[in-house]
Amino acid sequence: MRKTTSYFEGRMRLLHKMNGLNSLYETYMESKGCEAKVNHSQMFWIFRSREMVKNWFQDGKPLSCFCLDNNYHEIHVAVALGDSSEMKEKDDDFAYLTFNYNVHVLPKRECGVHFCEFELVDRITTAKKSALNFTDYAVMLPFKKKERYMRQYTLIYSDWEVLICERHNVKGRAPVSRDLYDKIWLGAVGA
C-alpha cells in the first residue's frame, strides 16, 4: 500500500465515485423491480499480517479501515486470514483487528481537523464475510507535529464525513473551524 498523500486523495475520489454510482445503481434496480445486485470492488485494504498493522500503527502511518453495523465508536482493519488460522472457526473466511477510540482522550484540532487517541485491541476476530454488515469505509490518518506522534488519528469516511470530537455523535460533516477565522473576523470588525 502506498503512503503518499496523492495516493489517498485518488483513493478517496474513487470511493466517492463508487458511492455515487452505487446509489444510482440501487435507484435504477428499484425502478426496474430487480432484487439481484452486482458486487462492487472491495473498499478496503487487506494487510498481510497483524504485525504489519501494529507496526504501521506504532509508526503513525495511514491505515485503511471499515465500520460494522453503524458502530462508529470502533474501527476495523482487515488482515490476511492465514495470520489468524488458530482462531478461525470452520466456515470463517475473513479476519480483522479492532481499534477503539474515545474522542475525549487527547483530543486535538488542527486546521479544523479533529484527532483523538486510538488504541489497538490486540486480538484478531474471524468471521464469515457474507455475515458481516459493512456500513462505512474510512482512512485513518495520523496526527504528527514536528515528528511527535502520540497515537492520535482522524477518520475520513468514504461518504466524505469525518471524525468529530465535540459531540456525542462522532461522525459528521467537517466543521468550520472558528479558530481559523477569528483573526479575519476580528480584523473586519475592528476596521
How far apart, in whole angstroms, are the C-alpha atoms of residue 161 and residue 110?
A: 17
155 backbone dihedrals φ, ψ, rounded to 5°:
-125, 135
Find the length of the chain. Answer: 191
pTM to 2 decimal places: 0.70
33 backbone dihedrals φ, ψ, rounded to 5°:
75, 20
Please identify which residue in the block is written with the cell numbers 474501527: 75
Higher-confidence residue of 119 and 41: namely 119
DSSP one-letter string for 9-65: HHHHHHHHHHHHHHHHHHHHHHHHT----------S-EES-HHHHHHHHHHT--EEE
Q: Which residues contact 9 (CB under 8 A, 6 or more apart)?
A: none
Higher-confidence residue of 146 and 157: namely 157
What is the residue-averaged pLDDT of the chain? 81
Tens-place pLDDT, residues 69-99: 999 889 999 998 876 656 666 778 889 999 9
How far apart, in whole angstroms, are the C-alpha atoms of residue 130 and residue 22?
A: 18
Q: Which of helix, strand or coil describes residue 54?
A: helix
